[in-house]
Amino acid sequence: MGQTLLGNDQVAKKLNQIRTLMELAGEPFYKFMAYERAASAIENAGPLKELIAADELVKLPGIGKSIAATIMELCERGQCGLLEELSQRFPPTIFEVLGVSGIGIKTAGTLFEQFGIASLADLEHAVESGMLAGLPRMGKKSVENIKRGILAYKGRQNRTPLGAALRIARDVLAYLKDGPPTDRLTYAGSLRRAEVTVGDIDIVCTSDQAAAVIDYFVRWKRAQAVLAEGPTKASIWLEGGLQIDLRVLPDAVYGNLLQHFTGSREHNIQLREYAVRKGLRVSENGILELETGRSITCRTEEEVYAAIDMQYIPPELRSGIGEIDVARARSLPALIERDDIRGDFHMHSTWSDGRDTLETMIASAAALGYEYHSISEHSWGRGPKYGMNPEQVRAQRAKVHEYGEKLSIRTLCSSEVDILPDGSMDYSDSVLAEFDIVIGSIHSALNQTRDELTKRLIRACENPYVNIIGHPTGRYDTFNGYEFDYDAVFAAAARTGTALEIDGQEGRLDLPAPLARRAKEFGVTFTTDSDAHAAAQLANLDLAVSQARRAGLTKEQVLNTRTFDEVKMFVERKRRRTA
Ligand code: DGT
Ligand code: CA
Ligand code: CA
Ligand code: ZN
């Protein structure tokens, strides 16, 4: 075979499209799930080009001859017969409809087959005309859900996920550091506030050579177009339409500049209103004392907040939802910091669906300076390819300890055990009891009713051996997560001594910060985990910490800031209490 047109991620994306369209077309479960499994295998495999060259595609989990042929076709032509055929039946805009939360694949299928609803515009029209509400089995609540889903979908359009935006921001900062001299240089805006998605990337910088910096910035090789270019600011567009704004000002106002462009808009408006009552006018150029006409410039953000007579507010808390009052009363929590983290409870190796070997994962965790960590593979219900049976669990345990000792990192033997549809666990209690710590996660039957899901999660909390509920809402990219009675589950978690995870995997960030903030009110303990499926993804724990900060969590509320012995005590306490 000659060149490959598509890489792993693109092929996986197309396989997932096939999967969705097959389900839409009414194909049986086992058939379309085969493509989902194949997509996941490709995402986690080495470069396709090499696999194909070595004729090793069929060695991947869940990939037989026919799917392998589809994958090779995709690589070679960038397209395949199967997807072309399916695309004839469904227009590409059907994915807009599928992206609206509140609409499952079944509903989308019915809406398309019977009413020709094939795009977001069609769907909006059906809602507005009242046609949707007139359909059988379409209650008021479902219509409301779909309405909200449409709004959320539109809001998400053209926004970039936090993890991806951070990588681009680091690249552009590195590029700028190599250019004309700058004093201070960082990112601001929603990215610095660690919002789950960002509209654009805002870079602020101080330099006495603004013109040269701007000129260098717009010449970045990844800029597809220059949107604006002035003496102190410029905007560029990258491939795919992501915008980067740059502002350059003198170093004396760096604090004012950074504070202004970190936002949020709501936070800044409220801050200014409060400042005006104190006789101060706040802007990106400084703080003006209205009575004297004196201008206060701030080299740091801390000075800005001090000048307005309030406690420093960390960027992650600047949402304009009451933080200004709390800062005036000097009662902000001391937020958890990345340096407080002593370990990571959630990661996978090649023993389940991870991409790197057990030894690599443990060595990489040790290299991050962690005191402890746990490898938490999937339980056997995930199927023989990804899930481990109890014998494999025991075999792995010996290896984990062996590598751990060699690398002087404490190891907790763990598992990410499926919470079955009835709330029981995918291993028996006696197998669960052998683990040092257990994560319980929902991966199947996501379409249960709210009531069933609530009971399911509460029952998992009540299991004496379940210590952490993994990615509790199941949110993933544009899927908003399954619905359950949040308060009831949070209360159960607090009552039973079960921690709730803030999963840092890029698509997840689950619990979402607003729900974590709510759970905190119930006295819940949290974990911040990477859920890494490759060594490089261990860094995703940073994203989890950023979301914990947005939720206003302190280190005391997060289990993996505690020592190894304290973690053991947390586990023991629950076993004694509920066993
Ligand atoms: P995004 O980009 O939609 O994810 O959200 P932000 O918050 O990054 O918004 P962006 O990029 O428009 O502006 C960055 C910050 O700069 C924003 O949070 C507040 C400040 N800012 C920018 N333009 C204005 C403005 O015209 N008025 C006010 N009050 N603040 C502004
Ligand atoms: Ca922005
Ligand atoms: Ca901007
Ligand atoms: Zn999981």
What lies within 8 Å, CB to CB, of 426 at 6+ separation is 379, 380, 381, 387, 417, 418, 419, 420
Q: Which ligand is nearest to the CA of 415?
A: 4
**499 with 531: CB under 8 angstroms?**
no
Is any ligand 1 atom within 6 A of the Cβ of residue 200? yes
223 C-beta neighbours (distance < 10 Å), count: 18
Residue nearest to atom 22 of ligand 1 (CA): 261
- Hey, which CATH number is domain 338-578, 3.40.1390.10, 3.20.20.140, 3.40.140.10, 3.30.1360.120? 3.20.20.140
pLDDT digit string (tens) for 505-548? 999 999 999 999 999 999 999 999 999 999 999 999 999 999 99
- The pair of three-digit structure tokens given for residue 141, joined into one six-digit string: 């609540």
Nearest alpha carbon, ligand 1 atom 8: 189
Q: Which atom of ligand 1 is nearest to the CA of 269?
A: 29
Average pLDDT of the chain, as a whole number: 93
Task: List, for residues 7-63, the tens digit of each pLDDT value.
Answer: 888 899 899 999 999 999 999 999 999 999 999 899 888 889 889 999 999 999 889
Which ligand approaches the C-alpha of residue 160 most closely? 1
Regarding the domain delimited by 263-328, which CATH topology (the fold level of the hierarchy) does it fall under?
Answer: Beta Polymerase; domain 3 (3.30.210)
Residue whose CA is at the smallest distance from ligand 1 atom 20:
261
Residue type, 276: V
Q: Decide: 301 in ligand 1 pocket, CB within 6 A.
A: no
Q: What does the block give as tokens for 169?
A: 């921001």
Query: Within the chain, which residue ranges are assigned CATH 3.20.20.140?
Result: 338-578
Which ligand gives the minimal distance to the CA of 439?
4
Q: How many angstroms separate the CA atoms of 124 and 122, rounded?
A: 6
More confident residue, 221 or 477: 221
Beta carbon of 315 within 6 Å of any ligand 1 atom: no
Instruction: Let me know: does 275 contact 282? Beta carbons within 8 Å.
Output: yes
Cα separation, 22 vs 29, whole angstroms = 9
Q: Which atom of ligand 1 is nearest the CA belonging to 190? A: 8
One-letter amino acid at 476 equals Y
Structure tokens at 391: 């014998």
CATH 3.30.210.10, the chain: domain bounds: 263-328
Classify domain 8-156 by CATH number: 1.10.150.110
> Does the C-beta of 202 come closer than 6 Å to ligand 1?
yes
Give the residue with greater pLDDT, 96 vs 541: 541
pTM of the model: 0.78
Nearest CA, atom 17, ligand 1: 263
Provide the edge-to-edge strand list for the sheet that holds 243-249.
185-187, 201-206, 243-249, 233-238, 223-229
Q: What is the pLDDT of residues 108-156, one digit of tens each?
A: 998 999 889 999 999 999 999 988 888 877 888 888 888 888 887 776 6
Q: 3-state SS of 185-210?
A: EEECHHHHCCCCEECCEEEEEECCCH
Please give the pLDDT value at position 4. Answer: 67
- 304 Cα to the center of ligand 4, angstroms: 42
pLDDT digit string, tens, across residues 150-185? 887 776 677 899 999 999 999 999 999 999 999 999
- Whether the CB-CB separation of 218 and 201 falls below 8 Å is answered with no
Report the separation in Å between the CA atom of 246 and the middle of ligand 2, taken as the mean of its atom positions: 11
The CATH label, of 3.40.470.10, 3.50.50.60, 3.30.460.10, 3.20.20.80, for the domain at 160-249 is: 3.30.460.10
265 CB near ligand 1 (under 6 Å): yes
- Would you give the distance in Å from CA 245 to the centre of its chain? 24
Pocket test for ligand 1, best of 159, 190, 233, 285 (most atoms within 8 A of CB): 190
If residue 160 lies in a helix (H) or strand (E), which one and from where to where? strand 160-161
Backbone angles phi, psi at 77, to 5 degrees: -110, -10
Yes or no: say if 371 and 563 are a contact pair by the CB < 8 Å rule: yes
Nearest residue by C-alpha to atom 5 in ligand 1: 190
Q: What angle do the packed helices 81-89 and 8-24 form, to 10 degrees?
A: 40
HEC letters along 453-468: HHHHHHHHHHCCCCCE
- Residue 1 is predicted with a pLDDT of 43
Q: Is 160 in the pocket of ligand 1 (CB under 6 A)?
A: no
- Sign of the dihedral defined by the CA atoms of residues 41, 46, 47, 52, in that order: negative
Residue nearest to atom 24 of ligand 1 (CA): 265
**Residue 155: what pLDDT?**
65
Q: Is 264 in the pocket of ligand 1 (CB under 6 A)?
A: yes
Which own/partner pairs from 122-125 qualify as long-range (CB within 8 Å, at least 24 positions apart)? 122/97, 123/96, 123/97, 123/150, 124/150
**Cα–ligand 1 centroid distance for 263 (angstroms):** 6
Nearest Cα residue to atom 19 of ligand 1: 263
CA of 116 to the centre of ligand 4 (A): 36
